């Protein structure tokens, strides 16, 4: 008999809803991936590097040329200086980076604070490291950190806090004042941070992304995680990176080298080329996705869904209280997929204890205009 290390874990809701969308022919606005391709020059670069023979292992830490481009982008975007050799590690996806960071510092019996609603990979990674998640709910309306609840959740066993900004699934952003408040709260405690910033360049309405990379005090204890897949519309490449002070990076790399050893070599070369040749891509990304957000929200305005336009990410939460208040969000997501041809994600799956009466589902607007128009047409007749 197998004793499961993750007895309460099954197939993720993202896989379930994508499978249901495929089975029913529904538009898949559930799982977070674009239905359009990444830049042509980036894709062409992959083929070029494969043809040039860049098909063997890359260095465990990532190609030096790519790590240098990451450091240059960080300096340009946040005014922060990081050492490309000692502080930047390329990983096969941001999820793997998060797993390795947790495994590097969380020990048996340690507590890790996560903010609900929380991305679903955090808790299994903590459990596999022998730790325990302590769930602190974010504000119901604004999804902001409740610092009183956070303070009450801290204990001598608290080893790590996981931040996520821009936040999935709500799109909320953390401000500099909130980072300052967090720094004051944990200043005298031996607590590490993971800052999951995979949507760092998907921020709207002229509001800048506030990165832990630019907060000198917090960065000294942080692993900051990002995603090429999200930034360059190539989620299937599963390539990301983590930036951390040298001492933390050394511990992370000890784990990373035995999980995957390295990332995919030609993809790294292609990304390094594209970053060097097109640094403007990340500057243009907020406007690119804000246009999609605004189009989608404008199209949904006549519907019976209520919503506030998200501040970041490529997800829009909508409240269906005026449509089917009799259904919980899981049943609503299933009903929308089967009966109305649009697949969504229920928000309750991101909580340990979902709020009573919450009626929210998450829609991904990282789609072509025709997809958004077709989806909105279906949603407006519900």
pLDDT tens-digit map of 135-179: 999 999 999 999 999 999 999 999 999 999 999 999 999 999 999
**pLDDT-based confidence at 223, cuts 50/70/90?**
very high
DSSP string computed for 99-152: HHHHHHH--TT-EEEEEES--TTHHHHHHHTT-EEEEEEPPTTT----HHHHHH
**pLDDT-based confidence at 1, cuts 50/70/90?**
confident
Residue position matching structure tokens 């909320």: 172
Residue 295 has pLDDT above 90, yes or no: yes
Rounded to 5 degrees, what are φ and ψ at 36? -130, 165
Residue 130 has pLDDT above 90, yes or no: yes
Rounded Cα gap, residues 47 and 25, in angstroms: 32
Average pLDDT rounded to a whole number, residues 307-326: 98
Asked whether 113 and 134 are in contact (CB, 8 A), the reply is yes
Rounded Cα gap, residues 334 and 346, in angstroms: 9
Asked whether 161 and 191 are in contact (CB, 8 A), the reply is yes
DSSP string computed for 287-301: HHHHHHHHHHHHHHT
Structure tokens that stand for 275 in this block: 């970053």
3-state helix, strand, coil in the chain (%, to 5): 45, 15, 40
pLDDT, one tens digit per residue, over 225-249 is 999 999 999 999 999 999 999 999 9
The sign of the CA dihedral 293, 298, 304, 308 is positive
Rounded Cα gap, residues 62 and 174, in angstroms: 29
The DSSP secondary-structure symbol of 171 reads -
Asked whether 82 and 243 are in contact (CB, 8 A), the reply is yes
Three-state DSSP state, 351: coil
Can you give the C-alpha Rg of the chain in angstroms? Answer: 20
Average pLDDT, the chain: 97
Sheet strands (E) in 55-129: 88-91, 111-116
* pTM recorded for the entire structure: 0.97
**pLDDT-based confidence at 11, cuts 50/70/90?**
confident
Rounded to 5 degrees, what are φ and ψ at 142? -110, -5
């Amino acid at each position: 008999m197998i004793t499961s290390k993750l007895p309460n874990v099954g197939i993720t809701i993202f896989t379930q809803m994508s499978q249901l969308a495929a089975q029913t022919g529904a538009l898949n606005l559930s799982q977070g991936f674009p239905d359009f391709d990444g830049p042509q020059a980036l894709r062409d670069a992959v083929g070029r590097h494969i043809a040039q023979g860049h098909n063997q292992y890359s260095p465990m830490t990532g190609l030096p040329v790519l790590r240098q481009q990451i450091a240059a982008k960080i300096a340009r975007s946040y005014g922060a200086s990081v050492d490309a050799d000692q502080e930047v590690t390329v990983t096969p996806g941001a999820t793997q980076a998060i797993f390795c960071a947790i495994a590097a510092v969380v020990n048996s019996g340690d507590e890790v604070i996560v903010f609900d609603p929380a991305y679903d990979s955090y808790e299994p990674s903590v459990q596999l490291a022998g730790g325990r998640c302590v769930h602190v709910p974010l504000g119901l309306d604004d999804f902001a950190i409740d610092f009183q609840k956070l303070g009450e959740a801290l204990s001598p066993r608290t080893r790590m806090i996981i931040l996520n900004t821009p936040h999935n699934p709500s799109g909320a952003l953390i401000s500099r004042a909130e980072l300052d408040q967090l720094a004051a709260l944990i200043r005298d405690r031996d607590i590490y941070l993971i800052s999951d910033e995979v949507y760092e360049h998907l921020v709207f309405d002229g509001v800048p992304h506030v990165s832990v990379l630019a907060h000198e005090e917090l960065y000294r204890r942080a692993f900051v995680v990002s995603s090429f897949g999200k930034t360059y519309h190539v989620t299937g490449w599963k390539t990301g990176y983590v930036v951390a002070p040298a001492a933390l990076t050394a511990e992370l790399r000890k784990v990373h080298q035995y999980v995957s050893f390295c990332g995919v070599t030609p993809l790294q070369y292609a990304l390094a080329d594209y970053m060097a040749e097109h640094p403007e891509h990340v500057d243009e990304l907020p406007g690119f996705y804000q246009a999609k957000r605004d189009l989608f929200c404008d199209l949904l305005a006549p519907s019976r869904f209520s919503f506030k336009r998200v501040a970041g990410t490529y997800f829009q939460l909508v409240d269906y209280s005026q449509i089917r208040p009799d259904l919980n969000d899981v049943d609503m997501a299933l009903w929308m997929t089967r009966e109305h041809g649009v697949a969504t994600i229920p928000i309750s799956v991101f909580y340990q204890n979902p709020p009573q009466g919450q009626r929210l589902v998450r829609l991904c607007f990282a789609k072509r205009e025709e997809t958004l128009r077709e989806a909105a047409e279906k949603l407006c007749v519900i």
